[in-house]
Structure 1
Amino acid sequence: MTSTASLVDFTSAVEAVEEWLTEYISASHPAIGRTGPICPFVAPSRKNRTMEIRLRLAGHAPTLELIEEIARSSLREYELTTWQGRNPMLRAMVVALPDLRSEDTGLLDQAHARVKDDFVAQGLMIGQFHENCEVTAARNPGFAVSKAPLPLFAIRAIALHDVFFLSERPHWFQQYRERFGKFFGPGSTVADPLLVEHYQEAEQAYGGPS
Structure 2
Amino acid sequence: MRLYSTAEINQLRHELPYLAQTSDWLRDFLAKPHRDLGRPGPVCPFLPKALDLNSIRLTEVQAKGLNLEQLKDIVRDYRDIFLELEPKHGDLAYFKAIMLVFPDISADEALVLIDGVQRELKPFFVEMGLMLGEFHERSESPGLHNPDFRPLRSPVPMLAIRFMAESDLPFLQRSTDEPHLRVRYLEAYLTRMASVIRDEKKLQKAKEALAIAYSEQQFNPGQMPQQKVSKCPFARLARVFS
Same structural fold, with TM-score higher than 0.5 when normalized by the shorter chain: yes
TM-score, structure 1 as length reference: 0.82
Matches of residues 129-140 of structure 1 in structure 2 within 5 Å? 129-140=135-146
- 82, 85, 101: which is aligned to 1:81? 85
TM-score, structure 2 as length reference: 0.72
Which of the pair has more CA radius of gyration? 2
Q: Residue in 2 aligned with 1:170? A: 183
For the residue of structure 1 that corresponds to 2:147, the secondary structure is strand
User: How many aligned residue pairs are there?
Assistant: 195
Q: Residue in 1 aligned with 2:102? A: 97
Alignment pair present for 1:179 and 2:186: no
For 1:120, give the aligned amino acid.
V
- Deviation at 1:83? 5.0
For the residue of structure 1 that corresponds to 2:45, the secondary structure is coil
Report if aligned partners of 1:56, 1:97 keep a CA contact under 8 Å in 2: yes
- 95, 115, 119: which is aligned to 1:113? 119
Segment drifting more, 78-87 vs 198-207:
78-87
Report if aligned partners of 2:86, 2:93 keep a CA contact under 8 Å in 1: no
Segment drifting more, 67-76 vs 107-116:
67-76
Q: 1:142 to 1:70 in 2, by over 3 A?
A: same
- Deviation at 1:201? 3.6
Q: Give the whole-Å Cα distance in 1 for the aligned partners of 2:197 and 2:52.
A: 29
Report if aligned partners of 2:166, 2:197 keep a CA contact under 8 Å in 1: no
Relative contact order, CA 8 A, sep 6+: which one is greater? 1
Alignment pair present for 1:30 and 2:35: yes
Gap runs ≥5 in structure 1: 1-8
Could you list the per-position Cα deviations for residues 96-146 of structure 1 after superposition, in whole angstroms to 9, with x for gaps in the alignment? 011112221111101111111121121110000000111111222222221
- 33, 43, 47: which is aligned to 2:52? 47
Q: Residue in 2 aligned with 1:62? A: 66
Which of structure 1's runs of 4+ aligned residues deviate more than 3 A?
82-86, 182-185, 195-198, 206-209
Identity of aligned residues (%): 25
Q: 1:131 to 1:68 in 2, by over 3 A?
A: same
Q: Give the whole-Å Cα distance in 2 for the aligned partners of 1:101 and 1:135.
A: 18
Q: Give the whole-Å Cα distance in 2 for the aligned partners of 1:16 and 1:83.
A: 26
RMSD: 2.5
- 206, 212, 215: which is aligned to 1:199? 206
For 1:72, give the aligned amino acid.
R
For 1:156, give the aligned amino acid.
R
For the residue of structure 2 that corresponds to 1:146, the secondary structure is coil
Gap runs ≥5 in structure 2: 1-13, 215-233
Q: Give the whole-Å Cα distance in 2 for the aligned partners of 1:198 and 1:38.
A: 23
